[in-house]
Amino acid sequence: MLSVVEAQAIVMQYVRPLTPVMIPLTSAAFGLVLAEDIASDLDMPPYDKALMDGYAVRSTDLPEGRGILTVTEEVTAGQTPRLPIAAGQAARIMTGAPLPAGVDAVVIRERTRMLDGNRVEIDDRPARPEQNVMRRGQEMRRSEIVLKAGTVLRPQEIGLLATVGRTAVSAHPAPNVAVLSTGDELVEAGRMPGPGQIRNGNGPMLLAQVCRAGGIPNDLGIAPDQVDELKAMITEGLRSAILVISGGVSAGKLDLVPGVLQELGVQAHFHKVAMKPGKPILFGTLGGVETRRQGDRETRREATSDDIPCLPVSLSPCLVFGLPGNPVSALVCFELFVRPAIRRLRGETDPGPHFREARLRQDFSHRSDRPTYYPARLDWCDQGWHVQPVPWFGSADLRSLTGANAFVLFPAGDHTHREGQVFPVLVTDE
Amino acid sequence: MLSVVEAQAIVMQYVRPLTPVMIPLTSAAFGLVLAEDIASDLDMPPYDKALMDGYAVRSTDLPEGRGILTVTEEVTAGQTPRLPIAAGQAARIMTGAPLPAGVDAVVIRERTRMLDGNRVEIDDRPARPEQNVMRRGQEMRRSEIVLKAGTVLRPQEIGLLATVGRTAVSAHPAPNVAVLSTGDELVEAGRMPGPGQIRNGNGPMLLAQVCRAGGIPNDLGIAPDQVDELKAMITEGLRSAILVISGGVSAGKLDLVPGVLQELGVQAHFHKVAMKPGKPILFGTLGGVETRRQGDRETRREATSDDIPCLPVSLSPCLVFGLPGNPVSALVCFELFVRPAIRRLRGETDPGPHFREARLRQDFSHRSDRPTYYPARLDWCDQGWHVQPVPWFGSADLRSLTGANAFVLFPAGDHTHREGQVFPVLVTDE
């Protein structure tokens, strides 16, 4: 059976960042990944400027830091100085305002005293050239690349983009992710389950996981264990960049999903992974269609798996993940396989999943035939990460996860793990 | 001058979680804080159920783990078993399906072999009662509180809410946060700055910070240094839970914001904080209006600062933050004061700001009259957090922040800090 790492490598073979689109520089851009290098269209600052409120001076006038200077004018931010400053003169100046010609330093206001309408007394340390001054182009020069393709757009990058004149940028968009829950036993949250029925908790849970991963959630609801309806709903879901199906993928008699996917042309790449919870996880792709234009002629061809490693960005296969129906299995499989795929489609270079090394807080006995992701509480204390498994009834028990913020990875076998031993921990809450 | 910690305490005196509203259990609910205790409306699981695909058996029939049993029926998830199981009998069963009466264990399918249409051979370890079985109500019982007010809604909580029948919950909403940039020198990103002008990078940056903090951004654009227009735009902003103004708050002659705020009834609580960058930060509140109904009579009264410590949740003052115009100052002040306020309005109990202790990577000399938040790179390596200041030209230099993910806090004074020394680091990227 495939290991988790092997299975993740297979998924990543089929995932390429989505074709960039122009995104307006509003809150829609926050967190996206830039797909172009950004050059400044101006020098920043665009002029020599004052970094403090005070007086623009010639440092040679104040070798001891003290003196009385004649004030020629006042320059505020947004204004242009009218007069150059000669020896013995100064201009009153505001933070951000352009320096008049002739000056090379600013004395802060707290070190000055107005004597009358046009004279100022200065009592400061000896003036250094360039003090409290920023020179034109010191932060960036026109045509200089200030952000590279691949940069994640945080608040500072968005502020910088506006500063260099961008109102829209080329970025990888967030992928649409469709979520479909399957099973005759499922009813929507608003209904009281009849005998043998349970409410669909996986759908809302997975949609929230899509949000957390940075995808755009698309709720397809519940499909019954009935081939035609299932086929129609899966066909709908295959229009998204990712289709997540929960339930119907284990080897049970009514687990119809694999057959329907095959019939619809989805190529399955694996169907079982050595992990607990979550063994029966299916991953497949629908190859996508590549469109080429040459003059008037448009050719379309189905992509095959041979194409995938060198996918042109215009070719977007649909990634299909069939997750087990048990909620904890579904949640863990999503974090290990779907979330990294979403992040990679967004153009992120370190898509995870992210693990931390942490010390076990107490002895813990655990037996399993497969490596197990055990719900746990991860905390930082005493200058280190510590982890404690939470009480857990198994893959159906979602409630336990409300006390957890991570999963500690225990190896297969029958072990008593000791306090202080170090384990990898899957971080899900960030 | 107030310290940052003192100033933060003053802000928090005026911040209470927003009045809860009913939020539908869609992606809009993700990340909000629950404002009610949630009881389950059913037993989970609602019936004794199988945790694995296999055969439901009486453990007393398989004391050695081996035997041949007669298969009475097949039970799938969503069905109700028709027949009780007597000694020597078993039912084929799917994961999640209800157990027939009489059984107390499930043998996994991999340990069984069908002999003919209705007999199964079992070759397993000795059967233990309760193996691969989950009893009705084992996860949760009807009327039991499964989530408490104050819980952050992550994917597992949202799945659990759907499981217990909730399609909407009472939660603290995300606050509206208006952002206004001020200054005659500012032009929008789409225009080429003329002499003495700069583009407005702070507006888009602060709006992205609002998103990151979990607020709902409201872009008010640019106000000129002109009292009437400024007053009209600030009045508009005071309708939000928070108004963030950048620029116009230092002691410069054209810094009109404090006067306009006072005229509009905003009570200023502080106007300077001992920090660098960011000293001239203003915090004020517009008291809000409390509406009481008694029969037909509605009384409205202005809240005063005396009311605030015991604010009823229905009374929402507008919090006003006047941030310095330099972009790095604005970004740092937002992280230290505005982001915690947004998180507290959302009902979060640990609103931050969040610091980590980290070791300095290299010697670093630093001189300042105030504690300084210096742009830095924080990384986890060799089992510890390490921090390295990035090259930085001061509070106007936003570009430096594209190489930073944190701010290291250096004390006031003239120091050479040594490699390996531990400093608090303000984390902004999470």
A212 vs B contacts (CB less than 8 Å): 30, 154-155
Where residue B221 falls (left for φ over 0; alpha for ψ -120 to 50; beta otherwise) is left
C-alpha to C-alpha distance for B117 and B121, rounded to whole angstroms: 12
Considering chain A, what is the average pLDDT of its residues? 91
Question: If you average pLDDT over residues A201-228, what whole number do you get?
Answer: 96
Q: Does A32 touch chain B (CB under 8 A)?
A: no
Interface contact B155-A200, CB threshold 8 A: no
The yes-or-no verdict on residue B291 having pLDDT over 80 is no
Interface contact A189-B45, CB threshold 8 A: no
Interface contact B78-A146, CB threshold 8 A: no
**A119, β-bridge pairs:** A70, A116
Token pair 């027949």: residue: B83
Token pair 């940056």: residue: B205
Are B169 and B22 in contact, with CB atoms under 8 Å apart? yes
B146 vs A contacts (CB less than 8 Å): 399, 402
Give the phi and the psi of residue B384 in degrees, each rounded to 5. Answer: -160, 165
- In this structure, of A54-68, B226-240, B243-257, the range with the lowest mean pLDDT score is B243-257
- pTM of this structure: 0.88
Considering chain B, what is the average pLDDT of its residues? 91
Give tens-digit pLDDT for A347-388.
999 999 999 999 999 999 998 999 999 999 999 988 789 999
**Minimal Cβ distance to A160: which of B80, B95, B399:** B399
pLDDT of residue B396: 83
pLDDT of residue A52: 87
Length of chain A: 430
Q: Does A25 touch chain B (CB under 8 A)?
A: yes
* Better pLDDT: A419 or A288: A419
Contacts of B82 (CB under 8 A, 6+ apart): B73
**Minimal Cβ distance to B325: which of A96, A189, A212:** A96
C-alpha to C-alpha distance for B131 and B139, rounded to whole angstroms: 16
Q: What is the ipTM of this complex?
A: 0.87
Residues 223 through 262 of chain B touching chain A, CB cutoff 8 Å: 225, 250-254
The yes-or-no verdict on residue B170 having pLDDT over 80 is yes
The yes-or-no verdict on residue A423 having pLDDT over 90 is yes
- What type of residue sits at position B124? D
C-alpha to C-alpha distance for A237 and A247, rounded to whole angstroms: 15
The yes-or-no verdict on residue B48 having pLDDT over 70 is yes
Domains observed in chain A: 4-18+174-345 (3.40.980.10), 22-42+149-172 (3.90.105.10), 49-134 (2.170.190.11), 355-427 (2.40.340.10)
Question: If you average pLDDT over residues A94-103, what whole number do you get?
Answer: 92
Give the phi and the psi of residue A324 in degrees, each rounded to 5. Answer: -60, 155
**Residue A241 gets which letter from DSSP?**
S
pLDDT of residue A44: 87
Question: If you average pLDDT over residues B297-301, what whole number do you get?
Answer: 54
The alpha carbon torsion through A208, A212, A215, A216 (nearest 10 deg) reads 40
Where residue B333 falls (left for φ over 0; alpha for ψ -120 to 50; beta otherwise) is alpha
Closest CA to B225 of A45, A77, A97, A96: A77
Q: For B255-389, list the strands marked E by DSSP.
A: 267-270, 282-286, 289-294, 297-302, 318-323, 355-360, 364-368, 372-381, 384-389
Question: If you average pLDDT over residues B92-108, what whole number do you get?
Answer: 93
**For residue B131, what are its two tokens?**
């193996």
The yes-or-no verdict on residue A302 having pLDDT over 70 is no
The yes-or-no verdict on residue A310 having pLDDT over 80 is no
Neighbours of B314 (CB within 10 A): 10
Interface contact A78-B225, CB threshold 8 A: yes
Interface contact A196-B80, CB threshold 8 A: yes
Percent of chain A with pLDDT over 90: 78
B28 vs A contacts (CB less than 8 Å): none
Give tens-digit pLDDT for B312-357.
334 568 999 999 998 999 999 999 999 999 999 999 999 999 999 9
Contacts of B9 (CB under 8 A, 6+ apart): none
C-alpha to C-alpha distance for A220 and A236, rounded to whole angstroms: 8
Q: Report the gap between the CA of B155 and the closest CA in chain A (Å).
A: 5
pLDDT of residue B27: 85
Are A408 and A374 in contact, with CB atoms under 8 Å apart? yes
Residues 103 through 142 of chain A touching chain B, CB cutoff 8 Å: 109, 134, 138-140
pLDDT band at B197 (very low <50, low <70, confident <90, very high): confident
Residues 189 through 218 of chain A touching chain B, CB cutoff 8 Å: 189-190, 192-193, 195-212, 217
pLDDT of residue A395: 85
The yes-or-no verdict on residue A177 having pLDDT over 70 is yes
pLDDT of residue B252: 59
C-alpha to C-alpha distance for A295 and A317, rounded to whole angstroms: 26
**Residue B203 gets which letter from DSSP?**
H
Are A178 and A242 in contact, with CB atoms under 8 Å apart? yes
Give tens-digit pLDDT for B230-253.
999 999 999 999 999 998 766 555
A186 vs B contacts (CB less than 8 Å): 78
- What type of residue sits at position B340? P
Report the largest interatomic distance among the alpha carbons of chain B, rounded to a whole angstrom: 96
